[in-house]
Amino acid sequence: MVSSDLTIKFMTPMQELIPRVEERMHRQAIGHHPDLGAALQHLLSSGGKRIRPTVALLTGMMLGAEIEDLITLSASIELLHTATLVHDDLIDGALLRRGIATLNSRWTPAATVLTGDFIFAQAARLAAETNSVAVMGIFAQTLATIVNGEIAQMFNSRGIANRQEYHERIYAKTASMFELATEAAALLSPADSAKRRVVRTFGYEIGMAFQIVDDILDFTGDQSTVGKPVAGDLRQGLVTLPAICYLELNPDDPDTEFLKLGGYPSGTVIDRLVESIRASGAIRAAMQEARGFVGRGLDALTGMPEGVEKQALINLAQYIVEREL
Amino acid sequence: MVSSDLTIKFMTPMQELIPRVEERMHRQAIGHHPDLGAALQHLLSSGGKRIRPTVALLTGMMLGAEIEDLITLSASIELLHTATLVHDDLIDGALLRRGIATLNSRWTPAATVLTGDFIFAQAARLAAETNSVAVMGIFAQTLATIVNGEIAQMFNSRGIANRQEYHERIYAKTASMFELATEAAALLSPADSAKRRVVRTFGYEIGMAFQIVDDILDFTGDQSTVGKPVAGDLRQGLVTLPAICYLELNPDDPDTEFLKLGGYPSGTVIDRLVESIRASGAIRAAMQEARGFVGRGLDALTGMPEGVEKQALINLAQYIVEREL
């Protein structure tokens, strides 16, 4: 839902560029099996905020990279993101994503695995088209980080609240791709390595904040808006920051027992705990942590070249923690 | 089973290099989740002929590339191959590969999908480590070709004999990766584009032959050697060259009806047809076609620099059509 004033402020410089990124993504199915084209069309039609391409474009433009290279990079990153979602939804058995049917809800597991693989391949092809060995390197490294994070999540004990594990998980899942977006954009620009480290830090910090806010929205949103059941993560045994904060604030609530010891609580316990978390200061505490990340991201930007792009990045960072709760 | 005289002839120049490729592959799990290390160990322990690394190493050495770059490339290609096998076996529900348990027979589908993704990521990382944008480009293109071929195979009508579709399928499945091995090795060497095209052709031709012989062995091997049921492909509705040749030689055999019209014949029909194919001239005809590919591959090599590497490539090409039937 890209509609608030803030969104407009950071999207304006991008108005003509995002459609070119979309077009690059759509073109990747040309010359391949028609069902792949249909699948890609379906996946891309669900829209999404295209926040990773926006971050890559703004960062690269701020640092003087060529627009054409940035469009290639942005399409590559968004396809990488899309491919990981395809396999994730298959693994989770999710039926809806952003309110529309997931691929796995309509296709066989086999076709879904292969479509994800195909989109990975196209993302890698686009990354190679940036003609930067360094970009390719961090692209591949990011894919490894994301998948390693998913595997760790699968094997780690369910239900236990562990702040460090949570941070590692959201880094692998989300912040690593924001880092890729900013660092790769810098690599395609004339910026020196000091500036590159700065924007990488910015990407890391806002990526962490972005995932924390997503995890908060999982508790505070209602099912019709988010397109999935409230606290779906916790119901699947995945403990996110609101639950971690709640446990820290209410260590004696018997409903939190499983967050300390693991195990599978009853639906009644989960329902009650979700209500407790929603009504508690845990949401505010988690939000405070997200704001901390955004603040460090903004601090990092201080020395960056002034201009509409920098201002748009600032607006975007603020938007992350001001999305409708 | 690397033991014949011919094998020794092409393996000798590689004796010390293949273990270095193995070591590079094993190292990719370091620093990641321990279960990934175990999975990679298990997958690599099944051995296999390492024919793709051997082709890349010999081609690159013949053209004067640096050994270290070729080891990186070879590890990348073999991991790409391994990753596609992991997802293939999951999709086919295969329980054994090279006589040992597949990953999907021991792990959940979710863990298997992610392990395949992780190996893709490591393959891409190694490809990027060659520091060649061109190598990265054809690496990504090859992955797209392989996956597109698998998707086409999934959606195409089962059971119908179609020579062109067969050629496209074995190109996507196997020859594309041999092309990658030879062309990428040339890209890492000082060879000009004419030489690069020559070795790419060599890779294409021996890759096609390699898959045809694999498909012949599916009919002629016995279950204990091959590690899977005889004519497993045909039983799954996948028509390979021996069946295509048989149909051309015996168009009036009523058991071949489904090869013209599609559909699912009974087990009795399949058993009888498999016996007919094994006893017919179809095996020899298919072998003749494989020899034609190898012959064109050898012709292509004519102008290449003389030396032990070229001789080993010639021996390897001949080995492909002289493997034990």
Q: Is the pLDDT of residue B5 over 70?
A: no
pLDDT of the residue at A155:
78
ipTM of predicted complex: 0.85
Spatial distance between the Cα atoms of A155 and B49, rounded to a whole number of angstroms: 32
Across the interface, of A36, A125, A152, the residue whose CB is closest to B141 is: A125
B6 phi/psi in degrees, rounded to 5: -60, -40
Q: A97 - beta bridge partners?
A: A100
Q: What percent of chain A has pLDDT over 90?
A: 65
For the segment B177-200, the average pLDDT, to the nearest whole number, is: 98
pLDDT of the residue at B28:
86
> How does A80-115 read in b/e, with b if 16+ C-beta sit within 10 Å?
bbbbbbbbbbbbbebeebeeeebbbeebeebbbbbb
pLDDT band at residue A29 using 50, 70 and 90 as cut-offs? confident
pLDDT of the residue at A111:
86
- Taking the Cβ of residue B155 and every Cβ of chain A, the question of whether any pair is shorter than 8 Å is answered with yes
Residue-wise pLDDT for B110-146, tens only, equals 888 999 999 999 999 999 999 999 999 999 999 999 9
B262 phi/psi in degrees, rounded to 5: 80, -175
> How does B77-88 read in b/e, with b if 16+ C-beta sit within 10 Å?
bbbbbbbbbbbb
| Least confidently predicted of A85-89, A245-249, B183-187, B314-318 | A85-89
pLDDT of the residue at B284:
96
pLDDT band at residue B10 using 50, 70 and 90 as cut-offs? low
Spatial distance between the Cα atoms of A221 and A62, rounded to a whole number of angstroms: 34
- Taking the Cβ of residue B220 and every Cβ of chain A, the question of whether any pair is shorter than 8 Å is answered with no
Across the interface, of A110, A133, A151, the residue whose CB is closest to B91 is: A110
Q: Is the pLDDT of residue A179 over 90?
A: yes
| Least confidently predicted of A133-137, B159-163, B286-290 | B159-163
- Shortest CA gap B213–chain A (Å): 26
What does the angle CA A238 – CA A242 – CA A244 come to, to the nearest 5 degrees? 70
Q: What share of chain A is helix, strand, coil (3-state, %, to 5)?
A: 75, 0, 25
Q: Is the pLDDT of residue B78 over 60?
A: yes
pLDDT band at residue B36 using 50, 70 and 90 as cut-offs? confident
pLDDT band at residue A156 using 50, 70 and 90 as cut-offs? confident
Contact B144 A125 (CB under 8 A): yes
Spatial distance between the Cα atoms of A280 and A270, rounded to a whole number of angstroms: 15
| Chain A residues closer than 8 Å to B152 by CB | 33
Helix (H) or strand (E) holding B249, with range, is helix B241-249
Output the pTM of the full model.
Answer: 0.90
Q: Is the pLDDT of residue A200 over 70?
A: yes
Closest to B24 in 3D by CA, of B112, B99, B123, B120: B123
pLDDT of the residue at A2:
41
pLDDT of the residue at B125:
93
pLDDT of the residue at A32:
81
Cβ proximity of A121 and B143 under 8 Å:
yes
Contact A136 B144 (CB under 8 A): no
DSSP letter assigned to residue A28: T
| Chain A residues closer than 8 Å to B151 by CB | 32-33, 35-36, 111, 114-115, 118
Q: First CA to last CA across chain A, in angstroms? A: 13
Closest-CA residue in chain A for B137? A128
| Chain B residues closer than 8 Å to A141 by CB | 125
pLDDT of the residue at A3:
45
Q: Is the pLDDT of residue B2 over 60?
A: no
Residue-wise pLDDT for A2-18, tens only, equals 445 556 666 666 778 99
Question: How much is the CA Rg of chain B, to the nearest whole Å?
Answer: 20
pLDDT of the residue at A226:
55
Contact B147 A87 (CB under 8 A): no
Q: What is the mean pLDDT of chain A?
A: 89
pLDDT of the residue at A225:
60
DSSP letter assigned to residue A100: E
| Least confidently predicted of A29-38, A223-232, B114-123, B309-318 | A223-232
> How does A287-305 read in b/e, with b if 16+ C-beta sit within 10 Å?
bebbbebbebbbebbeebe
pLDDT of the residue at B161:
85
DSSP codes, B258-276: HHHH-----HHHHHHHHHH
For the segment B2-26, the average pLDDT, to the nearest whole number, is: 74
For the segment A183-198, the average pLDDT, to the nearest whole number, is: 98
Instruction: Output B324 or B265, whichever has higher pLDDT.
Output: B265
pLDDT of the residue at B233:
87
pLDDT of the residue at A1:
39
Q: Is the pLDDT of residue B225 over 70?
A: no
Give the CATH fold of the B5-320 domain: Farnesyl Diphosphate Synthase (1.10.600)
pLDDT of the residue at A216:
96
- Taking the Cβ of residue B5 and every Cβ of chain A, the question of whether any pair is shorter than 8 Å is answered with no
Residue-wise pLDDT for B48-63, tens only, equals 789 999 999 999 999 9
For the segment A113-137, the average pLDDT, to the nearest whole number, is: 93
Contact A136 B132 (CB under 8 A): no
Q: What is the mean pLDDT of chain B?
A: 89
Instruction: Give CA separation, B181 vs B52, B65, B66, B154, B187, in Å.
Output: 6, 13, 15, 26, 10
For the segment A113-126, the average pLDDT, to the nearest whole number, is: 93
pLDDT of the residue at B9:
63
Q: Is the pLDDT of residue A313 over 90?
A: yes
| Least confidently predicted of A57-61, A104-108, B113-117, B285-289 | A104-108
Instruction: Give CA separation, B158 vs B24, B87, B161, B264, in Å.
Output: 39, 20, 9, 8
Q: A-B interface: how many C-beta pairs under 8 angstroms?
A: 134
What does the block give as tokens for B42? Answer: 């298990």
Q: Is the pLDDT of residue A83 over 80?
A: yes
- CB-side neighbour CA atoms (13 Å) of A315: 18
